[in-house]
Amino acid sequence: MLFMVIERFKDRDPIPVYRRVRDPGIKFPEGLTYVGSWIEPNFDRCFQLMECDDARLLQEWILSNRDLGMTFEIVPVVPSKETREVVAPFLDKK
């Protein structure tokens, strides 16, 4: 399953997070895969796409990074290609 993880940097300060990435590295529990991320230009939020079959792995990852002062929102998402396949049979129905 895919999840959009929306992180909010404490005080819009990305330095502690990037320091963690650079130094010991961000560790992910076995079974949780980082797909990609995007950062707002004002350093308010980071949008990360993560993949796993068990949402408890996301909880574990969040708890292991709680010292960075970030907040997290987790949103299950479906790729648009897969959604198009679900929607297609309904397009011409009235």
Condensed to tens digits (0 to 9), the pLDDT of residues 16-75 reads: 888 888 887 778 999 999 999 999 999 999 999 999 999 999 999 999 888 888 999 999
- What was the pLDDT predicted at 32? 97
Q: Provide the residue type at 2 as one letter.
A: L
Higher-confidence position of 93 and 33: 33
Contact 5, 58 (CB under 8 A): yes
Question: Residue 57: what pLDDT?
Answer: 97
pTM score, two decimals?
Answer: 0.85
37: left (phi over 0), alpha (psi -120 to 50) or beta: beta
Architecture of domain 2-90: 2-Layer Sandwich (3.30)
Give the C-alpha separation, 78 to 75, whole Å: 10
